Amino acid sequence: MADRLTQLQDAIDQLATIFYCALRYVGTHHDFVPTHTEQKVRDETLQPDPPALFRSSQQELARDLVLKTKQIEVLIASLPGIGVSEDDQKERLKELGRELEKAEEERKKSIREKEELLVEFDEVVRSLKRV
């Protein structure tokens, strides 16, 4: 999974695509409404959708738009480390580095201890058998 920032950037790009799609759909699928007594205009390059379909498509596009915006807001809210300043982060990194060193030392010590005990135990077992 991509990181949050990339997700957010993708979402914004998608939002821009939806902007374009919505306008283009309305531009290419609308019907004409005659004013007063004029004849209804025709345009061969347009294929108007039936009113019901046009209406529902419009609504779908609008819903997409709102959904994407909501998604972007959620992503913004879940950005990692929001409200943490750079100095805080650096301080925390230093602290973690120290802790890690300490933990690593402890770990090595415990492994050494374990190995020594292993040898000792082995000797005990051997001596048991020899008696």
Catalog residues that contact another protein under the rule CB under 8 A: 3-5, 8-9, 12, 15-16, 19, 22-23, 27, 65, 69, 72-73, 76-77, 79-87, 89-90, 92-93, 96-97, 99-100, 103-104, 106-107, 110-111, 113-114, 117-118, 120-122, 124-126, 128-129, 131
Tell me the torsion sign for CA atoms 56, 57, 62, 67. positive
Q: Which distant-in-sequence residues (6+ apart) come within 8 Å of 84 by Cβ?
A: none
Give least dist CB 39 to another protein, A: 22
Taking the complex as a whole, the smallest distance from the CB of residue 48 to another protein amounts, in Å, to: 17
Contact 48, 30 (CB under 8 A): yes
Question: What burial class does residue 43 get, using C-beta atoms within 10 Å of its C-beta: 0-12 exposed, 13-18 middle, 19+ buried?
Answer: exposed
Nearest to another protein of 37, 130 (CB atom): 130
